Chain A
Amino acid sequence: MPPVTRGFVGRRKRDPRLPPGQYDVGDQWPVLTAEPAPNLDTARWTFRIDGLVDHSVEWNWDEIRALPRERWDGDIHCVTTWTKFGMTWDGIPLDALLEAAGPLPEARYVVAHSHTGYTTNLPLADITGGRAWLAFAAASAPERPAPLTREHGGPARLLVPHLYFWKSAKWVAGLRLLADDDPGFWERNGYHDRGDPWAEQRFQGD
């Protein structure tokens, strides 16, 4: 256990939904990006899956909006220590998109890349099995989700809610399947390669 800080008692009555080191941000939804938020025109927007797949697939906006969608209700966790409870999201399960491309047996990792050039790496196992979505809409409560704003990654971002939220790439443009892990933007700048909030995997070496 770390040494006790003189005089620090912290918040009492901790919500069990909070992973260690996190706090409840309440109704707010902070915006944290490293680059200017782009204005993406859905008329030219695409999402592509390639790399170690049977065949690469690319969808345009109309094609992807025609696919069956799912709703996800739950909490999201940012490495900067805020947690937002009780969100509602609307998107397409990545399982369905990956199935269309046909991952090869040797594919074990993914690099998600954005229209801005942002990248983040994920184990393939973390975005399959009904735990990750390509999301178009969100709400701060169990209500009808609204289209994602530009600041929150609109028109589409990843939603990987069981990992810290930098893995849920905003303005996502595609997934590349790989045999080996290939650290992305923040991961090369010191952040963890997986980012499990319950294990406090914030930085490399955690």
Chain B
Amino acid sequence: METTSRKTLRWQLATVLEVRDEAPKVRTFRLGLDGPATHLPGQYYVLRLTAEDGYTAQRSYSVASAPHGRPEIELTVERLDDGEVSEFLHDVVVPGDVLEVRGPVGGWFAWDGAGPALLVGGGSGQVPLAAMLRHARALGRPELVRMVLSVRTPRGLYYGDELRGPEVHPVFTKVAPEGSRRPAGRLRLDDVAPLVRGGETAFVCGSPAFADAAAALLTEAGLPPAAIRIEQFGPTGA
């Protein structure tokens, strides 16, 4: 499947329409594009900043919004300590600013809504998976996706109440909500195994350590490695 066309790879100017807090140090930027959003859920855009002396910095960010035909996308960005681009986006950017973007990019970690998908996300790995959930709901096919989210505390869930519902199984690693039957703790086999039905594609997104652990659990739960797609980000010691 080829999903990145040359047309999508030209830089375009995007106007910041809205900036919104999702969680501590996590913000969503709604950007106006010059044409309708045509990405597949899971794809990302590259964002480029340019200083007066010509110095540029670019980073890739997953699209959080579903393809909805309107000329806008939402990117959700976690503010990283010493993150040259994420600090700027969080500290400086306000509605009305103009940023450069190109995309959508990527065709592997992308879900076209055609078959069942098991979504497993940790931390800011929620972002591309949220696009998939939103797409499934917009198609009227929420039963196609089952979602497991691993976050430290209830405040770590993004997008207000959207990441709730029968499709979504949150797992809290540090602090569980009051009255929760599952005590706080890392993702375990019995968190994911009941959601594996056979025939699905798994989309795993999170830190390398999370992704590696989640992929191992999915394999243990019976998913063939070829059915597991991974998107990892963030630094790790080596």
Contact = CB atoms under 8 A, between A and B. Distances in A.
A69 to B, nearest CB: 21
Given A25-B235, A28-B236, A38-B225, A151 B50 contact: no
Interface string B1-22: 0111010111101000000000
B54 interface: yes
A204 B107 CA distance: 13
Interface residues of B, number: 54
A149 B57 CA distance: 30
B59 A37 contact: no
Interface stretch (A2-10, A41-49, A120-128, A170-178): A2-10
B23 interface: no
Contacts of A3: 13, 50, 98, 100
A149 B238 contact: yes
B229 A29 contact: no
Interface stretch (A60-68, A100-108, A184-192): A184-192
A152 interface: yes
A1 interface: yes
Interface in B98-120: 98-100, 102, 105-109
Given A5-B50, A152-B238, A190-B105, A34 B230 contact: yes
Contact of A151 (B48, B208, B231): B208
A11 interface: yes
Question: Nearest 3 pairs between A and B by C-beta?
Answer: A190-B4, A29-B238, A28-B235
Interface of B: 2-4, 6, 8-11, 13, 46, 48-52, 54-60, 84, 88, 92-93, 97-100, 102, 105-109, 208, 212, 215-216, 219, 225-226, 228-238
Interface of A: 1-11, 14, 20-21, 23, 25, 27-38, 80-82, 116-117, 140, 149, 151-152, 185-186, 188-190, 202-206
